[in-house]
Amino acid sequence: MSENSTPRVGSDRVKRGLAEMLKGGVIMDVVTPEQARIAEDAGAVAVMALERVPADIRSQGGVARMSDPDLIEAIIAEVSIPVMAKARIGHFVEAQVLQALNVDYIDESEVLSPADYVNHIDKWDFTVPFVCGATNLGEALRRINEGAAMIRSKGEAGTGDVSEATKHIRTINAEIARLTSLSKDELYVAAKELQAPYDLVVEVAETGKLPVVLFTAGGVATPADAAMMIQLGADGVFVGSGIFKSGNPAARAAAVVKATTFYDDPAVIAEVSRGLGEAMVGINVADVPAPHRLAERGW
C-alpha cells in the first residue's frame, strides 16, 4: 500500500476504522434530538437519525425515504457521538446529500423503500463510510465489494421479534466457518455459489472473519436479546424501535448497553433487566405477510 505524506481522508482504513471503534457497543435509532440526548446519556456509541422508527414505517406504510435534513442536522447538533443516517438502497443522491450534511456513517437500508431494485450504491465514490445489511455471507461480501465499511446482519426491523436476526447472524457465521474448512481448490466454486468476489472469499477463508466489523440488527428489544447477539458472534448491536417504543426508554437504553458489554455475565443481564417496564409490543415475524418483510429487500 502506498502511503504518501499528505493527509488522506476517506481511505478504506479510516472508513472501516470508525466501525472498529464502535465494536462492543449499541447504536440506537432516534427520531428527535431529545431521543438522541437520551441515547447518548444512556451510553450509545452512535445514533441512527431517522424520521420514523421501523415499527412506525411498518404500521403507517407508504414509501419510506431519507429523513429531512433539518432533523438530521438538529440531531448532529445535539450529540457528540457519531450520527448515522439512512439512504434508500441504490439511491446515490440521497447518499450524496447525507455526506454533504456531514453524517458520520450512511446506512444503505432495506428499512427504507428501495430506489433501485438492481444496483446498490457504488460506495467507493464516497468519503463517508457505509454500513449495509446482509442476510448471508454472499450478500455481505457483495456489499463489501461495493465499498461497505461495515455490515449489519439483517433482522426483521420494527417487529421486536429477534428470530430473524438470530437466523441471519447464525447463517453468516456458519458460512464463514464452512469457508475456513474448504481446501484452496474448492474456493472457486464456493465463490460461485456465494455469488461473491473470489478475492474476498479467499480472504474470509484465510482469516475466518469478515474484513469489516459485523453488527446485528432487527427485532432486538431486550437486554437479553442484545447479549444473545453478541454471544452469537456479533461485534455490536443496532436497536431500532426496541428502545423508544418501550415503556421507559432511558432505563431500557442503559440496560441494553450494560447487557451488551457484559454479554457473557447472566448475573449482570438479570440485574439490568429488572423493572424496565413494558417492552415494545411486537409482532411475530411469522404473522408478517411476505411482501411486507423488510429483510428480503436487498440482494
Which residues of the chain form contacts with another protein (CB under 8 A)? 3-11, 13-14, 17-18, 20-25, 40-41, 43-46, 76, 79-82, 99, 102-105, 127-129, 257-258, 261-262
For residues 182 and 226, give the distance between their C-alpha atoms in angstroms, rounded to a whole number: 32
Beta carbon of residue 271, minimum distance to another protein (angstroms, whole number)? 11
Exposure letters 56-69 (e unless 16+ CB within 10 A, then b): bbbeeeeebebbee
CB of 96 to another protein, least distance (A): 12
167 is catalytic: no
Are 131 and 152 in contact, with CB atoms under 8 Å apart?
yes
Catalytic residue among 15, 86, 167, 245: 86
Backbone torsion region of residue 43, taken as left when φ is above 0, otherwise alpha when ψ lies between -120 and 50, otherwise beta: left
Smallest distance, Å, CB 42 to another protein?
8
- What residues does 272 pair with on adjacent strands? none
Helices (H), 195-246: 198-207, 223-231, 241-244
Binding-site sequence positions = 29, 158, 170, 219, 240-241
| 196: its cell numbers | 461473491
CB of 185 to another protein, least distance (A): 30
Query: Which residues are known binding-site members for D-ribose 5-phosphate?
Result: 29, 158, 219, 240-241
Please give the annotated binding residues for D-glyceraldehyde 3-phosphate, written as ranges: 170
Distance from C-alpha of 39 to C-alpha of 267, rounded to nearest angstrom: 24
Closer to another protein by Cβ: residue 11 or 119: 11
Of the pair 32, 261, the CB lying nearest another protein is at 261
Contacts of 89 by beta carbon, 8 Å cutoff, 6+ apart: 108, 109, 110, 112, 114, 115, 116, 120, 121, 297, 298
| Nearer of residues 17 and 208 to another protein, judged by Cβ | 17
Pick 8 or 192: Cβ nearer another protein: 8
Q: What is the DSSP letter of 51?
A: S
Catalytic residues: 86
